[in-house]
Each structure stands twice: as structure tokens, then as C-alpha cells.
């Protein structure tokens, strides 16, 4: 660590700080501010002009800006569409969290054990979905489950009635979960694998001497040692589930029932960019961040 020599650190940091202030800090504060307002239209008159010679920007002045106090938050209480969207999101959370822990962890344990050969090949194959484009892979899944597609053929072949995935709310919603499992299994597996490799071999040897079975070793050595990794996976998965937008958006575009597939972020998108109620949309954003933060804190507490 060096003492600051002249103003080097500030020179190094300044481009980042300008962008950070403008595109991250300001939007965060502005979202909270907008949550208490409602307005129609955007004015090009500027409220504040910043001219630094190289950087020139204006902070938007919003016309017909009307202070509505807590009205946006009161509206949430009686907003049935929001309640349904919350329910859909929580449903995905309830289905995906256990799935996104159990399957990847089982795979990681299998691929960490000397019983299995070709471990690196299997690992690479399972990681492939992580590199797939968010929307492109969803397009493939929708083509597979579309009427008369691959899923239908396979079902008929094994003698099951085809499922109308895209017309039935229950199946559409589960399709979102199914796609997420496809995409994130390898990702979570790699993180678990890294966690497993940090567990000292001596712990297992000690358990072995005490005559522990495989399951007892898992229960008393692996699980306690993996706790921090488990927490990391649960929290990152929680955040990614609560901000799900791409898959529901594409399903809705393909005609899936809105009611059962609309997530909170999709609803925010509709409110803000289809109805142009930017104030209410901001209030919903504040609500979502509050929910995610609360859930993460609870998970943190439970882990301790």
C-alpha cells in the first residue's frame, strides 16, 4: 500500500466515478424520488445543466410532476394484477430454490467423487447452457413445446396425451421453471464443485475411521462445510428468480396466458413502458428491491 502520490488515484477513478454517479447512484435515488410522484410526459427543458467541457448532460425535468405521497404504495394493496404477479414470482421461487440446490449439489458430489470417470468432459457438457443467450435458448424451448413440435411427438410415441404448454397457465408457468433449471444447473454445479474441493480430505478420513457411512459423511462433514457456498447459491438464485423477465416476456409474446406467467418485473415493464405510469413503476421497483433485500437477509439469518 502506498501513500497517495499526488492525485493519481483520483485520476484513475474519475472516469468510473462520473459514470457511476450518473448511471447508478443517480438512478437509484431518482427511483425512490419518483415513487412518490406521478406525471404525464417528459419535458426537454432542463432543470440542471452540467457542462464539464467534455461531459455535457442535463437532468430531466418532469412536467406535470404531481406529488402523490403514498398513493402509489396504497394502490399496491388493492392491485390484483400485482398480487397475481407476486404470486407467480413466489411460485417460481418455491419451485426453483430447492431444485437449484439439490440437482446441482448432487451433480457436484458425483463429479467430485473418484468413482466417476470422464469428470472433466461431463463438467464441460453440463456448463454449456450457461453460455447460451437468454432469449435464444427460450426460443428453442418454445419451438420444442409448440403444438406439433418435438415434445408432442415424443409424448405421443410413449403414449401420453400431448400437453398444450403454451395455452395452459399451469404448464406455461412450469415451463419457465423448467427452462431456468436447464440454464442454471451447470452454473450452480461449478460453484458447489469449487466449494467441495476446499473441504479438507482429513475430515473425511476422520469420519471414515469413526465408521461413518457415505450418507453420514454427507450429513456431518459436507453440509456444514458447504454452508457459505450454499448461502451464496441461495442468495444469487433468489435475486435472479425475483428479477425474471426474459422467459416470461417471450412466453407471453408467444401467446401464453398472461395471468399465470406475468412476473413482477414483467408487470413493472408494462406499467412503466406500456401505460407510461413511471411513478407507479418506480414504486413497484422499490417494493421489489425491498422484497429481495428482506428475503436475502432472512436467508442470511437462517444460515447463521
Partner 1 sequence: MHEKDLNEALWKFGGYGFVIGAVLFVMIPIYWLLIASTLPQTEILGNTGSFPRLLPGSHFFDNAQALAERQTVNYYQSVLNSIIVASLYTVLSLILCSMSGFAFAKYDFRFKELIFLAILGTLIIPINLLVIPLFLLVSNMGISNSFAAIILPWAAYPVGIFFMRQTMQSIPDSLLEAARMDGATEFQLYYRVALPAVKSGMAALAVILFLFQWNLFLWPLVVLQEDKFTIPVALTKIMSQQTPAYDQLMVAALIAIVPMLIVFIALQRHFVNGILAGAVKE
Among 40, 58, 198, 275, contact with partner 1 (rule: CB under 8 A): 58
Instruction: Report how far residue 124's alpha carbon sits from residue 64's, in angstroms, rounded to the nearest whole number.
Output: 55
Among 91, 182, 204, 220, binds partner 1 (CB under 8 A): 182
Q: Of 59-67, 76-84, 91-99, 202-210, which segment contacts partner 1 by CB under 8 A?
A: 59-67
The least distance separating partner 1 from the CB of residue 178, rounded to whole angstroms, comes to: 10
Using CA atoms, how far apart are residues 93 and 84, in angstroms rounded to an integer?
A: 14
Beta bridge partners of 67: 37
Short-list 292, 281, 291, 192, CA closest to 240 = 292
- Range in contact with partner 1 (rule: CB under 8 A) among 71-79, 80-88, 198-206, 272-280: 272-280
Return the residues of window 194-253 that contact partner 1 according to CB under 8 A.
Answer: 194, 214, 232, 236-237, 239-240, 242-243, 245-246, 249-250, 253
Which residue of 72, 173, 186, 207 would you call a contact of partner 1, by CB under 8 A? 186
275 near partner 1, judged by CB under 8 A: no
Q: Does 299 bind partner 1 (CB under 8 A)?
A: no
User: How buried is 180 (Cβ within 10 angstroms: 0-12 exposed, 13-18 middle, 19+ buried)?
Assistant: buried
Shortest Å distance, C-beta 78 to partner 1: 22
Q: What are phi and psi of 254, to 5 degrees?
A: -85, 10
d(Cα 298, Cα 304) in Å, to the nearest integer? Answer: 10
Closest CA relative to residue 206, chosen from 197, 198, 216? 216
Nearer to partner 1, 140 or 298 (CB): 140
By the 10 Å C-beta count (0-12 exposed, 13-18 middle, 19+ buried), 104 is classed as buried
Residues 284 and 161: their CA atoms lie apart, in Å, by: 41
- Choose, by CB under 8 A, the member of 63, 70, 81, 150 that binds partner 1: 150
Residues in contact with partner 1, shown as a per-residue x/- string from 110 to 129 under the rule CB under 8 A: xx-x-xx-----x-xxxxxx
Among 92, 95, 105, 187, binds partner 1 (CB under 8 A): 187
Segment interacting with partner 1 (CB under 8 A) among 72-80, 185-193, 204-212, 216-224: 185-193
Q: Which is nearer to partner 1, 181 or 203 (CB)?
A: 181
Q: Does 257 bind partner 1 (CB under 8 A)?
A: no
Q: Is 93 in the site for partner 1 (CB under 8 A)?
A: no
The number of residues that bind partner 1 (CB under 8 A) is: 111
CA–CA distance, 287 with 77 (Å, rounded to integer): 12
Counted residue by residue, the chain has a size of 304
Rounded CA separation 234/250 (Å): 26
Q: Counting contacts by CB under 8 A, is residue 19 touching partner 1?
A: yes
Q: Is 303 in the site for partner 1 (CB under 8 A)?
A: no
Q: Which stretch binds partner 1 (CB under 8 A): 71-79, 91-99, 108-116, 220-228?
A: 108-116
175 binds partner 1 (CB under 8 A): no
- Interaction between residue 63 and partner 1 (CB under 8 A): no
**Gap between the Cα atoms of 207 and 223, Å rounded:** 14
Among residues 78, 148, 161, 302, which is the contact residue for partner 1, using CB under 8 A?
148
- Inter-residue contact 188 to 99 (CB < 8 Å): no
Residue 4 interacting with partner 1 (CB under 8 A)? yes
Rg (CA), the chain: 25
Q: Is residue 221 within 8 Å of residue 46, measured between CB atoms?
A: no
Amino acid at each position: 500500500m502506498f501513500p497517495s502520490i499526488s492525485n493519481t488515484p483520483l485520476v484513475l477513478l474519475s472516469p468510473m466515478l462520473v459514470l457511476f454517479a450518473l448511471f447508478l447512484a443517480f438512478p437509484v435515488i431518482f427511483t425512490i424520488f419518483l415513487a412518490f410522484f406521478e406525471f404525464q410526459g417528459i419535458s426537454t427543458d432542463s432543470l440542471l445543466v452540467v457542462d464539464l467541457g467534455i461531459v455535457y448532460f442535463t437532468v430531466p425535468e418532469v412536467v406535470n410532476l404531481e406529488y402523490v405521497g403514498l398513493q402509489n404504495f396504497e394502490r399496491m394493496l388493492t392491485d390484483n394484477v400485482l398480487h397475481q404477479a407476486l404470486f407467480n414470482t413466489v411460485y417460481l421461487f418455491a419451485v426453483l430454490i430447492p431444485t437449484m440446490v439439490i440437482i446441482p449439489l448432487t451433480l457436484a458430489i458425483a463429479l467430485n467423487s473418484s468413482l466417476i470417470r470422464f469428470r472433466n468432459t461431463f463438467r464441460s457438457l453440463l456448463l454449456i447452457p450457461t453460455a447460451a443467450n437468454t432469449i435464444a435458448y427460450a426460443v428453442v424451448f418454445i419451438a420444442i413445446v409448440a403444438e406439433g413440435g418435438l415434445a408432442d411427438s415424443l409424448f405421443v410415441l410413449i403414449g401420453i396425451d400431448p400437453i398444450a404448454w403454451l395455452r395452459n397457465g399451469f404448464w406455461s408457468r412450469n415451463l419457465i421453471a423448467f427452462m431456468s433449471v436447464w440454464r442454471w444447473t451447470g452454473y450452480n454445479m461449478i460453484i458447489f464443485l469449487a466449494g467441495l474441493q476446499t473441504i479438507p480430505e482429513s475430515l473425511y478420513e476422520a469420519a471414515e475411521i469413526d465408521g461413518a457411512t457415505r450418507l453420514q459423511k454427507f450429513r456431518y462433514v459436507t453440509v456444514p462445510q458447504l454452508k457459505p457456498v450454499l448461502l451464496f447459491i441461495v442468495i444469487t438464485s433468489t435475486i435472479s428468480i425475483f428479477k425474471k423477465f426474459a422467459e416470461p416476456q417471450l412466453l407471453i409474446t408467444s401467446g401464453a396466458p398472461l395471468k399465470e406467467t406475468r412476473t413482477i418485473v414483467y408487470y413493472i415493464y408494462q406499467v412503466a413502458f406500456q401505460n407510461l405510469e413511471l411513478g407507479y413503476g418506480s414504486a413497484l421497483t422499490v417494493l421489489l428491491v425491498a422484497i429481495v433485500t428482506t428475503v436475502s437477509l432472512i436467508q442470511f439469518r437462517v444460515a447463521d
